[in-house]
């Protein structure tokens, strides 16, 4: 699958539909496609389904098999029958008859994992999804999912970026357990929010030095740092054309091992 994906969170509303800027967001997704993005990440939760309809409008004239589409089933819909219904809803809104990747958006301890994966396995069998994965799962939750899944759980989409912060505090805990677990088990790590939602702090000596060396921006460096890692993908969102072009070009930046190590040690200061 394409390691660099285009994100759609907040295009068409947050948890509720907001159609006031549809034209702007459709234009952004169309631009992403023209620039060369071939992977779009969305979810039934985004805009309460409206984001998926925006994606459909943006890609309606493009051949379906030129694209990799990821969507996600929300944690309230993880019961057996609800997973089937949710997937049908996403397919209808996206105007497609299959998803390339279907993720469990968040774990839900109130619904037995076994029934979620029974439904997901049936969706693979009937061709409505090509493969499945999870998002925001820790090691214990992944172990449980993999215990019931008949097919490989191919990916875990987690928050991961150069300056990952939890509650405002710099935090790379994901590098201690969940990422090594994914690497060991051949599971793709998909980093969400790779640019800290546009708030990557650029006033940093290492970022400035390496940006100069690679003739790129600090934001491109943040994407390249992820994309140069093994078994790593990332999903980046942008609405401005210059950002979309800048982000796509980051996929071509090959960082030297020493510079990867420098960024690995980055502390956010």
Give the residue nearest to ligand NAP (CB). Answer: 7
Q: Which one, 113 or 244, has the nearer CB to ligand NAP?
A: 244
Q: Which one, 198 or 261, has the nearer CB to ligand NAP?
A: 198
Q: How many CB atoms lie within 10 A of CB 166?
A: 11
Q: How far is the CB of 240 from ligand NAP (least distance, A)?
A: 4
Confirm or reject binding of residue 4 to ligand NAP (CB under 6 A).
no
Q: How far is the CB of 42 from ligand NAP (least distance, A)?
A: 7
Confirm or reject binding of residue 136 to ligand NAP (CB under 6 A).
yes
Confirm or reject binding of residue 259 to ligand NAP (CB under 6 A).
no
* C-beta separation of 262 from 206 below 8 A: yes
Confirm or reject binding of residue 163 to ligand NAP (CB under 6 A).
no
Q: Which of 83, 188, 195, 216 binds ligand NAP (CB under 6 A)?
A: 195
Candidates 93-101, 140-148, 163-171, 195-203; binding stretch for ligand NAP (CB under 6 A): 195-203
Interior angle at CA 174, CA 73 and CA 254, nearest 5: 95
E strand spans, the chain = 4-7, 39-41, 68-73, 101-104, 132-135, 153-159, 165-166, 169-170, 188-192, 232-236
CA distance 74 to 108: 9
CA distance 51 to 12: 5
Q: Which one, 10 or 122, has the nearer CB to ligand NAP?
A: 10
Confirm or reject binding of residue 71 to ligand NAP (CB under 6 A).
no
Which among 11, 57, 31 has a CA at the least distance from the CA of 242? 31
Confirm or reject binding of residue 52 to ligand NAP (CB under 6 A).
no
Interior angle at CA 73, CA 178 and CA 133, nearest 5: 35
* C-beta separation of 37 from 9 below 8 A: no
Confirm or reject binding of residue 196 to ligand NAP (CB under 6 A).
yes
Q: Which of 113, 235, 255, 263 binds ligand NAP (CB under 6 A)?
A: 235
Count of residues that interact with ligand NAP, criterion CB under 6 A: 24
The CA-to-CA distance between both ends of the chain, in Å, stands at 34
Concerning whether 160 is annotated as a catalytic residue, the answer is: no
Q: Which of 38, 108, 171, 239 binds ligand NAP (CB under 6 A)?
A: 239
Within a 13 Å sphere around the CA of 207, how many CA atoms are in the beta-carbon half? 20
In eight-state DSSP terms, residue 187 is: -
Q: Which of 14, 60, 150, 197 binds ligand NAP (CB under 6 A)?
A: 197
Confirm or reject binding of residue 24 to ligand NAP (CB under 6 A).
no
Residues found near ligand NAP in the complex (CB under 6 A)? 7-9, 41, 135-136, 157, 192-198, 219, 235-240, 243, 246-247
Give catalytic residues, as residue numbers.
46
């Amino acid at each position: 699958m394409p390691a660099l994906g285009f994100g759609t969170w907040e295009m068409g509303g947050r948890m509720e539909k907001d159609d006031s800027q549809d034209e702007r967001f459709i234009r952004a997704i169309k631009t992403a496609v023209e620039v060369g993005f071939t992977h779009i990440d969305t979810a039934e939760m985004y805009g309460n389904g409206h984001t998926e309809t925006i994606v459909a409008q943006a890609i309606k004239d493009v051949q379906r098999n030129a694209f990799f589409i990821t969507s996600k089933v929300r944690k309230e819909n993880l019961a057996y029958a609800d997973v089937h219904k949710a997937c049908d809803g996403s397919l209808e809104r996206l105007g497609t008859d299959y998803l390339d990747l279907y993720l469990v958006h968040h774990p839900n301890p109130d619904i037995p994992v076994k029934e979620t994966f029974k439904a997901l396995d049936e969706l693979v069998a009937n061709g409505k999804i090509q493969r499945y994965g999870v998002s925001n799962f820790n090691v214990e939750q992944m172990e449980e999912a993999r215990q019931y899944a008949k097919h490989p759980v191919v990916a875990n989409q987690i928050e991961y970026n150069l300056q990952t912060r939890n509650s405002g505090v710099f935090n790379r805990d994901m590098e201690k357990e969940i990422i090594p677990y994914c690497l060991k088990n051949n599971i793709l790590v998909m980093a969400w929010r790779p640019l800290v939602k546009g708030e990557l702090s650029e006033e940093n000596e290492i970022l400035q030095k390496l940006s100069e060396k690679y003739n790129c921006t600090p934001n491109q460096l943040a994407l390249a740092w992820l994309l140069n890692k093994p078994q790593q993908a990332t999903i980046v969102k942008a609405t401005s054309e210059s950002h979309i072009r800048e982000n796509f070009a980051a996929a071509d930046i090959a960082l030297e091992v020493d510079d990867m190590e420098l960024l690995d040690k980055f502390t956010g200061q």
